Structure 1
Amino acid sequence: MRTMVAALLLGVALASPAVAQPDGKRLPGDYPLGSDSLVHADVAHGRLEGPFEFHAAAFPGTVRRYWVYVPVGYDPARPPNLLVFQDGQRATNPAGSLRVPAVLDNLIAKGDIPPTLGVFVTPGNLSDHYPPNLGMSNPDHRAAEYDALDDSYVRMLTQELLPEVAKRWRFADAPERRAIGGTSSGAIAAFTAAWLRPDAFGNVISFIGSYTSIGYRPASGAMPMVPGGDLYPTLIRKSPIRPIRLFLQDGSNDLDNEHGNWFLANQQMLAALNWANAHADEQGDKGPRYAVRHAWGDGAHSDAHGGAILPDVLRWIWGKTR
């Protein structure tokens, strides 16, 4: 009963109402940040180290930046949980929609989630050094890394970047104590990492995920067809269940273009995950099940709704009521 009540309360929290207008109406896509996403003077702040430049052998000719959030009271003798977030320049932006370091400060201070080390990484850019004028814009190698279904990106994370981070800061090894997240193509990159390496990442945060055909390439000459992210619902239905805990968010006004319809694609993901669980139950399969929650809103291709619910998503992943 306690678990059921907690789930119901979470559902209410994730419903994040949009901003009310003076006439009592609301505008689609208005999702205000709550207190848990704001900086508070009476809350101790972790350190955000970086940005550091990083050249990855998995993607020759590229350079990326990353930041490391070190929680208050970090103790290498007690390695904290790990959160990896794509598009690190936006995830760490103190004026942006996500403000992940502030969320971690507040939730850790309240004891709502365990101490967590954050690693925020940008996509690669095809240059010797990361361009200083990019700001919040996307580096030019983003789609090649994030929208591909192969293991290049997760190999870069697990074999190159995280070992580099581990030279200075320790973090948990157990997949259930690790989460990986992102928005848009960063979300499908996060899912691909967990799909291919559930032993490395047991939790996924997917906001406005691009489960569409961005990565698709038709067969040409001797080159075979390269699939896009719209294949995932099929793969989920036809593959053994991975031990993954996944939160999906999207809005009914998300993109609809030559790559696909984002909102429909996310609904297909949810339907496939739920079907896989139900089918396994029917077959008496004693293996793992997907732990899935979702929040559908009316936003466009924006981080706003995801940012508004991020604190509750992290509570669902690592909170006391899990």
Structure 2
Amino acid sequence: MRALGWAAALLVGSSGMAATKPMLQVAPPAPAPALQGRLEGPFELHSRFYPGTVRRYWVYVPRNYDPKRPPNLLLFQDGQRAVAAQGSLKVPAVLDSLIAQGAIPATLGVFVTPGNLSARYPDDLGMENPNHRPQEYDALSDDYARMTLDELLPAVAQRWRFAADPRRRAIGGTSSGAIASWTVAWRHPDAFGNVISFIGSYTSIGLKLGPDGAPVAYGGDTYPGLIRKSPIRPIRVFLQDGTHDLDNEHGNWFLANQQMLKSLEWANSHADAEKVAGPRYDVKHAWTEGTHSDADGGAILPDVLRWIWRDQPARN
């Protein structure tokens, strides 16, 4: 297994104990370099799964894109922040640099915003969140996955080809975008075999109570229990969170991410002990000293992508 460069000592596998490891300190983001590939968009998408909403998406097309050799796919949530030249993530520039180095395979990047309740996507939102984000990202239903698989990706595929193999597809995001990505892969591992989760909101944002106080919809804090009590999916997942992340009425983010990690590790060890045939979760994590910010995830994203695609030839 290839180490993650300078972060290797701070990333532990399924048998590691995060509490004994030093926290990762990261540098501020550098300006994004000029792309060798190109960023197309924004395009608008109206969804029948979320009537009355509109979302934007952008597509990064690598310089060596060849429709006869469909590239890998990276789908990233909160696309308005993922593509922002002044933001912390700069995902198109990261892809561009890694592909040029031959460090990862050619990869098509798709960056999609949450929906906004309007006929047109507001031009003045900038990097702010559209107003339908919690209803889409923090719900545990299949609606967001169906929008992704039945509407967004077919719209992209009208112009660009990309891999069908879930092992060559990754989905990721930050905060509620991370749990949305996990939900898509958890429900459809046949579509996405890799998840990038930065400061994931595995908390009770999506919890809704009825008049009698009983839950009528559950939140992301139920995932650790679901993972422990469900068959293992063939998913490779990278988790990052900061020790100074949020602690509020929805939950404690750092604790929630640690619970996710321990549940994935337990599922693997339990399956091994019971000699259960089938897949195991392939999981790595980085606990940093950061807050509820994209900055730490953006700083380690190149190493994360190398890890995600580590067993695939560059094909460049």
Q: Same fold per TM (> 0.5)?
A: yes
- Looking at structure 2, the residues matched to 164 and 175 of structure 1 have their Cα atoms a distance apart, in angstroms, of 18
Match 2:290 to one of 299, 318, 321: 299
Please report how far the alpha carbon of residue 219 of structure 1 lies from its aligned counterpart in structure 2 after TM superposition. Answer: 2.5
Shift, 1:32, TM fit: 1.8
Change (3 A) 1:57 1:14: farther
Query: CA offsets per residue over residues 107-126 of structure 1, 9 Å max, x none?
Result: 00011100000000000000
Indicate how the Cα distance of structure 1 residues 191 and 218 shifts in structure 2: closer, same or farther if over 3 A, else same.
same
Indicate which of 21, 26, 39 corresponds to 1:31: 26
CA contact (8 A) 2:10 2:24 kept: no
Structure 2 segments unaligned to the other structure (5+ residues): 12-22
Determine the C-alpha separation between the residues in 1 that align with 2:248 and 2:265.
Answer: 26
Structure 1 residues 310 and 47, CA, compared in 2 at 3 Å: closer, same or farther? Answer: same
Q: Report the equivalent of 1:67.
A: 58
CA gap of 1:293–1:127, structure 2 versus 1, over 3 A, is same
Residue pair 1:14, 1:312 contacting (<8 A) in 2 also: no
Alpha-carbon displacement from aligned partner over 1:40-94 (angstroms, at most 9, x marks no partner): 6xxx611100001110111000000000000011110000000000000000001
In 2, the alpha carbon distance for the partners of 1:91 and 1:143 equals 18
Q: Which amino acid is 1:7 matched to?
A: A
C-alpha contact 2:4 2:303 (8 A) present in aligned 1: no
Alpha-carbon distance in structure 2 between the residues aligned to 1:29 and 1:257: 24
CA–CA distance in 1 between the matches of 2:181 and 2:10? 21
Matches of 1:321 and 1:86, distance apart in 2 = 24
Aligned partner of 1:233 in structure 2 is 224
Residue 56 (str. 1) matches residue 47 (str. 2): yes
Map 1:21-170 → 2, pairs under 5 A = 31-32=26-27, 38-39=32-33, 45-170=36-161
User: Corresponding residue for 1:274?
Assistant: 265
Do the aligned residues in 2 keep the contact of 1:33 with 1:307 (CA within 8 Å)?
A: no
Amino acid paired to 2:3: A
Structure 1 position 39, deviation (Å) = 1.3
State the alpha-carbon separation in 2 of the partners of residues 33 and 288 from structure 1. 38
State the match for 2:19 in structure 1: none
2:16 aligns with: none
Seq. identity, %: 68
- Which SS does the other structure have where 2:206 is aligned? coil
Q: Which amino acid aligns with 2:125?
A: L
Alignment partners' CA distance in 2, 1:319 and 1:70: 21
In the comparison of the two structures, how many residue pairs are matched?
Answer: 302
* Secondary structure of the corresponding residue to residue 217 of structure 2: coil
Distance 1:128 1:49 in 2: 22
- SS in structure 2 opposite 1:68? strand
Could you tell me how far 1:224 is from its partner in structure 2?
6.0
**Residue number in structure 1 paired with 2:199:** 208
Number of the residue aligned with 1:7: 3
Residues 92-111 of structure 1: CA deviation (Å, up to 9, x unaligned):
00111000011001100011
Q: 1:285 aligns with which of 258, 276, 295?
A: 276
Letter of the aligned partner of 2:107 in structure 1? T
Gaps of 5+ in 1: 16-27
User: Could you say what secondary structure the match of 1:231 adopts?
Assistant: helix
Query: 1:302 and 1:29, CA in 2 relative to 1: closer, same or farther beyond 3 A?
Result: farther
What is the root-mean-square deviation in Å for CA atoms of aligned residues? 2.1
State the Cα distance separating 1:319 from its structure 2 match.
2.6
Secondary structure, aligned partner of 1:225: strand
The change in CA–CA distance for 1:226 and 1:156 in structure 2 (over 3 A counts) is same
Secondary structure of the corresponding residue to residue 52 of structure 1 = strand
TM superposition shift of 1:31 = 2.2
Amino acid at match of 1:265: A
Kindly provide the amino acid, as one letter, of the partner of residue 206 in structure 2.
G
Aligned in 2, Cα 1:235/1:165: closer, same or farther, shift over 3 Å? same
SS of residue matched to 1:138: coil
Structure 2 SS opposite 1:249: strand
- Taking structure 1 as reference, are residues 117 and 321 closer, same or farther at Cα in structure 2, changes over 3 Å only? closer
1:247 aligned onto 2:242 = no
Identify which of structures 1 and 2 has the higher relative contact order when contacts are C-alpha pairs closer than 8 Å and 6+ apart: 2
d(CA) in 1 for partners of 2:138 and 2:88? 22
Q: In 2, Cα distance between the equivalents of 1:287 and 1:188? A: 24
Name the CA distance, whole Å, in 2 between partners of 1:54 and 1:81. Answer: 22
CA distance in 2, matches of 1:69, 1:33: 24
